[in-house]
A = this chain, B = another copy of it.
Amino acid sequence: MRIFILGVDGYLGWPLARYLGARGHEVAGCDLFLRRKWVEEMGSQSATPIRTMEERLVAFKENFGRELIFKEGDLRDYDFILQFFKFFQPEAIVHLGEVPSAPYSMIDVHHCVFTQTNNIASTLNILYAMKEVCPQAHLVKLGTMGEYGTPNIDIPEGFFTIEYRGRTDTLPFPRQAGSWYHQTKVHDSHNIMFACKIWGLRSTDIMQGVVFGTRINEMGDGDDDRLLTRFDFDQCFGTVLNRYCAQAVIGHPLSPYGAGQQKRGFLPLRDSIQCLTIAINNPPQEGEYRVFNQFEEVYSVTQLAQKVKKVGDEIGLNVDISNLENPRIEKEEHYYNPDHRHLLDLGYKPTHDVEQELRTILEDLLKYRSRIEEKKEALIPDVRWDGTRRKSRFLTEVRR
């Protein structure tokens, strides 16, 4: 299949390209390398020493015996997307090319407006280019479980059938996102649903949980360092479990925010890539807009800290847990029961061994310990949801 990956230089985009390349697909991709710049802006770097795209492309060809067709470009530039689609004629389009960070979007008005206009304009441009060039192609779009927020009822996959005042309808499940970034994914969801309705496009909108992991154990993975994906641990681009792992290897306490009872859906990187591939291999009908809740299991952020401590202690790291003032405004205790049947029904086999996964991450990161140590200031958040900037303090007492 001809598969186009927007944001192919990223944490998910690069391993996805490798995974698909190893399976004989024709892969093209684009990137503007903004993620590399943003992480620098946050005073940090990828724990894994990732290569330039030039080196990555050479390694890709050597490992998989085929080219990855790559162009640098901006998704806000309609003509760039249009011409690339015309050239490549994609059958599936995986859209991972957005600003992906909640705290980054909360820094100030400029980061907020940039995140929102960038993400929305990119997705609109892609929809129009699909309509123009490849209306039969399948758009696999990365959204987030964070679109739903934490309602006091079960979370279905995108839509639910309800009775209200004696009548019944099937409607989009209400969204209550918790940052400007998360809001962009809500906006995208509404826009994509509309494009499918009026133009007959087909799309899978992935409400993804929090991803963690260093590898997908794909061909070349671990053997060829040039194929490593990035691993961020700073307050903006590091996800919570990856941050814990980075903390553990440098002897920094793991730092759940606030009471630490926030529950989220989590999944290993290898599961994310597996799920995206399942979505690609099982396209929806013409005009269909479908939503997959993509995660392996729900944990509280404290449960995960305890797992990292257990595994870290086993390999001699001597791990502490110390809660931080929560820089976010969010519920710290809440009901959380999201569905996640669609991918399982299509054959998703969850890894189901978080501790083994954590052991792999910690062992991988120990090799790059000094790179984390160098930028450890980036681990403690100072971007606050109230619009100010101040480093969070460790809490002496944790509300429960």
Interface residues of A (CB under 8 A from B): 78, 108-110, 112-113, 116-117, 120-121, 124-125, 128, 131, 151-154, 160, 162, 164-165, 167-169, 171-178, 180, 183, 186-187, 190-191, 193-194, 197-199, 329, 335, 385-387
**Chain B: which residue is nearest A164 at the CB level?**
B153
State whether B329 touches A197 (Cβ < 8 A): yes
State whether B165 touches A154 (Cβ < 8 A): yes
The smallest beta-carbon distance between A197 and chain B, in angstroms, is 7
State whether A199 touches B168 (Cβ < 8 A): no
State whether A174 touches B177 (Cβ < 8 A): no
Q: Give the docked Cα–Cα distance between A187 and B119 (Å).
A: 13
Q: Give the docked Cα–Cα distance between A174 and B156 (Å).
A: 14
**Chain B: which residue is nearest A110 at the CB level?**
B78
Q: Give the docked Cα–Cα distance between A199 and B152 (Å).
A: 22
Contacts A110-B78, A171-B174 given; does A121 touch B125 at CB 8 Å: no
**Chain B: which residue is nearest A161 at the CB level?**
B164
Q: How many copies does the complex hold?
A: 2
The smallest beta-carbon distance between A348 and chain B, in angstroms, is 23
* Most-contacted residue by chain B among A110, A124, A154 (CB, 10 A): A124
Chain B residue contacts of A116, Cβ below 8 A: 120-121, 124, 191
The smallest beta-carbon distance between A161 and chain B, in angstroms, is 9
State whether A125 touches B152 (Cβ < 8 A): no
Chain B residue contacts of A131, Cβ below 8 A: 387
Q: Give the docked Cα–Cα distance between A120 and B118 (Å).
A: 11
Given contacts A153-B165, A153-B169, 18 further A-B contacts (CB under 8 A): A78-B109, A108-B128, A109-B128, A112-B124, A116-B121, A117-B120, A124-B180, A152-B168, A160-B164, A162-B162, A171-B174, A173-B174, A176-B193, A177-B190, A186-B187, A187-B190, A198-B385, A198-B386
Contacts A116-B124, A121-B113, A329-B198 given; does A176 touch B165 at CB 8 Å: no
State whether A167 touches B128 (Cβ < 8 A): no
**Chain B: which residue is nearest A191 at the CB level?**
B183
6 residue pairs, one from A and one from B, having the closest CB atoms: A109-B128, A152-B169, A171-B174, A117-B117, A187-B187, A153-B167
Contacts A173-B174, A187-B120 given; does A154 touch B128 at CB 8 Å: no
Q: Give the docked Cα–Cα distance between A125 and B121 (Å).
A: 17
A190 touches which one: B109, B125, B128, B186 (CB < 8 A)?
B186
State whether B125 touches A167 (Cβ < 8 A): no
State whether B176 touches A174 (Cβ < 8 A): no
**Chain B: which residue is nearest A82 at the CB level?**
B109
The smallest beta-carbon distance between A23 and chain B, in angstroms, is 33
Contacts A112-B128, A183-B194, A187-B190 given; does A151 touch B174 at CB 8 Å: no
Chain B residue contacts of A175, Cβ below 8 A: 172, 190
Q: Give the docked Cα–Cα distance between A112 and B198 (Å).
A: 14
14 contacts between A and B (CB under 8 A): A78-B110, A109-B128, A117-B121, A151-B169, A152-B169, A153-B165, A153-B167, A154-B164, A160-B164, A173-B174, A177-B190, A177-B194, A199-B386, A199-B387
Q: Give the docked Cα–Cα distance between A153 and B161 (Å).
A: 11
